[in-house]
Structures are given as structure tokens and as C-alpha cells.
Amino acid sequence: MNALTLPATQHDLDLERPLAARGLHLGYGRREVLRGVDLDIPQGEVLGLIGRNGAGKSSLIGCLLGLLRPQAGQALVFGGPALRMDDARKARLGYVPQQPQAFGWMKVGQLFQYLGQLYPGWDPAHATALLRRWEIDPGRTIGRLSPGEAQRLALARALAPRPALLVLDEPASALDPVARRELLRELVGQAMDTGTTVLFSSHIVSDLERVASRVAFLHQGRLLLDRALDEVKDETVRLPLPAAAAARLPAALPGELARRTLPGGAVSLVVAGRAGWQELLLVEGVRTDRLGLEDLFVEVAG
Ligand SMILES: Nc1ncnc2c1ncn2[C@@H]1O[C@H](COP(=O)(O)OP(=O)(O)OP(=O)(O)O)[C@@H](O)[C@H]1O
């Protein structure tokens, strides 16, 4: 299969979306990493993409931005094919890879001057303010920055042109807690002030909880629970089922995310949404446990 001979159904892709994908499949050799990922990120959303180490978050971002060619499926950026991104769309996109590097020999100020000529939307005052706020001296040589400083520089570089779409791969992994808070505040501020759409990947659930308006779990090659954070918190529950009730469970329930059999035949079930499982509450001994996002992550991906 190949993305050119087997395009996803274009008609159901919303051309207004900053980012959209249908049926993305990607493997490295025989290892399948993405197994049919569909995604829509509406304008102005801050989507937190969460998943365990090696779940495929960077690979998915690579496909979404046209940096990796999927074996099947299609990704669109601002309505156009990600694999053939023109300059106009590139100029509206800010991307921070997981390990930002390059231009190590340059001074920070030199790089920013160069980028200012390259990006039509570059805002020099905003760029200077970001460097000042994140305490990066423009006179520093980029190659001598610490990993955390390099990450802050990469973020300042991505934010300075005030992109319409900001994609951040583990943006806070090398940052200390103060810098992480700063960054998250910046993200929310930018999203709210200018309607910037943000996709960021993380395995730090508390970061995601702080800023994301939407959340998606990448697990075993598929996206689970791609919905508003409030909805996920309100409508995802754990149901501890006694053995007698567990024995009568169908093979899969609507909205079922995880099922764990406990010693003695009892089952711990995690379900999303309100339909398909309410009758289980009629069984004696069955109750619902609210799950925080961290517990949910552990239940689903653990
Ligand atoms: N170029 C490659 N060749 C072979 N395997 C790869 C390649 N890139 C990634 N992989 C494998 O694909 C899987 C997904 O990797 P990816 O980096 O996308 O995951 P991730 O969710 O971003 O991980 P992390 O949270 O650790 O950064 C991993 O098992 C990784 O080893």
C-alpha cells in the first residue's frame, strides 16, 4: 500500500481544519507504529497528544507535518497535502522537534536576525520579549546552550512569527518546573489571544491537564479518547465488577477503553461516554469510580 495509490477519502476531510488526517498507517520495517489514525484539530484548540514512550507520538507528528511518508492514509495542513507543503502554509506553521538542534555555531541574535528576514510574520519585538523572559542572551552561542536553554530557544523561535498552527513535540521535557509553567502560560496565552491552534505531545499528564482543551491518547497505534478534556474527565469512569457480573460481560462494550481481570474473576473496566454500560450499575456491588487523567492514562496504557 502507498499513500499515493490509496488516498484517504478526501471528501470527509474538513478543508478548514489547521490539521487533519485520515487512516494514517506507518511502520518501520515490520514494526507497525500507526495503525489507522484519524485526527481533526479544529482552529483554536490546544490538543495534548499523550502516549507512553515509543507509542509513536513523534512518528505521528512527522506524518501530520509531511516529514514522514505514511504507508497509507493522508494528512492535510491548512487543507493542503502535508507531503507537498508550499511556502505560504509553511510560513503559518511553527514546529519544535523533540531534539531541536542546528545552527550550533551561530549566536542567538544572529539566528533571530536571519529568521526575521525569512519569515514574513516574524515579530521582532515579540522575539526579543520571549528571549528576555526566558533569559536567553542573544550573544550566546547556540551550540553552548544547555538542553533546557536550547529547548527554550527553539520555542521562542517557533512563537516569534506568531504562527497560526504550533506543533510541539515534547516541548517541556528538558525544562525545569519554572520554565515549564512559563511555557505553558505562553501557549495558553497565545492560543487565547490569537486563536493559535496548538498540538503538543507529552507524557507529563499534569502539563496536559493544565493547558489542553482537548486530549488524545496514542496507544497501540491508534488514537483513543480524542475529545474535549472536560468531557474526558466527566465521562470516563472505572467500574469494578464482581466476578458474577463480570462473567456476563459481552466481549466488548461501547466506549470500553480497558479491561483488567482481577484475582477471583472480578473485572476492572474503564469506559468512556455515557451509553452502553449504565445497566451494569443495576448489578449489586457495582459502582463508578471517577478517574483523574493520570489514573486514566495508567489504566489505558499501563
Ligand atoms: N527511523 C526509525 N527507524 C526504526 N524505528 C523507529 C524509527 N523512528 C522511530 N522508531 C520506532 O518507532 C516507535 C515509535 O517511536 P516514536 O519516536 O514515534 O515514539 P514516541 O511516542 O515519540 O516516543 P517518546 O515518548 O519516547 O519520545 C519506537 O519503537 C521507535 O523505536
pLDDT tens over the chain, length 302 residues: 333 333 344 444 555 689 999 999 999 998 999 999 999 998 889 999 999 889 999 999 999 999 999 999 999 999 999 999 998 898 899 998 887 667 888 999 999 999 999 888 899 999 999 999 888 999 999 999 988 888 889 888 988 998 999 999 988 777 888 888 877 887 778 777 788 999 999 888 888 888 899 999 999 999 988 889 988 888 888 888 888 888 878 888 888 888 888 888 888 889 887 777 777 777 777 888 888 888 888 888 87
Backbone angles phi, psi at 294, to 5 degrees: -65, -45
The CA distance from 25 to 71, in Å, is: 6
What is the Å distance from ligand 1's center to 139 Cα? Answer: 35
pLDDT score for 15: 52
Instruction: Assess whether the C-beta atom of 66 lies below 6 angstroms from ligand 1.
Output: no
Grid look-up 473496566 returns 269
Q: In this predicted structure, what is the pLDDT of residue 177?
A: 84
Separation of alpha carbons 280 and 265, rounded Å: 16
For the four alpha carbons of 170, 167, 205 and 194, in that order, the dihedral sign comes to positive
Q: Which three cell numbers stand for residue 37?
A: 489514525
- Euclidean distance between CA atoms 85 and 228, whole angstroms: 29
Q: What distance in angstroms lies between residue 198's CA and the mean position of ligand 1's atoms?
A: 22
Spatial separation of the C-alpha atoms in residues 189 and 154, rounded to whole Å: 18
- Helical (H) or strand (E) element with 123: none
Distances (CA, A) of 77 to 48, 55, 280: 18, 23, 43
Atom of ligand 1 nearest to the CA of 59: 18
For residue 79 the three cell numbers come to 487543507
Does ipTM top 0.85? yes
Grid cell of 300 as nine digits: 489505558
Q: Which residue ranges form the domains of the chain, and what is each CATH number?
A: 10-220 (3.40.50.300), 236-301 (no CATH)
Phi, psi angle pair for 151, to nearest 5°: -70, -40
Residue 219 β-bridge partners: 222
Q: How far is the CA of 102 from the centre of ligand 1 (A)?
A: 21
Q: Which residue's CA lies nearest to atom 29 of ligand 1?
A: 54
d(CA 165, CA 195): 9
Mutate to test the pocket of ligand 1, among 25, 26, 28 (most ligand atoms within 8 A of CB): 28
Determine the Cα–Cα distance for residues 6 and 73; give it in Å rounded to an integer. Answer: 7
Tell me the residue type at 110.
Answer: Q
Q: Which atom of ligand 1 is nearest to the CA of 61?
A: 18
Whether the CB of 58 sits within 6 Å of ligand 1 = yes
How many residues are recorded in the chain? 302
Strand (E) or helix (H) holding 41: strand 31-41
> SS3 of 227, please?
strand
Contacts of 141 (CB under 8 A, 6+ apart): 104, 105, 106, 107
Question: Closest residue (by CA) to atom 26 of ligand 1?
Answer: 53
Confidence at residue 100, expressed as pLDDT on a 0 to 100 scale: 66
Q: What are phi and psi of 99, to 5 degrees?
A: -120, 80
Closest residue by CA, ligand 1 atom 3: 28
Is the CB of residue 252 less than 8 Å from the CB of residue 271? no
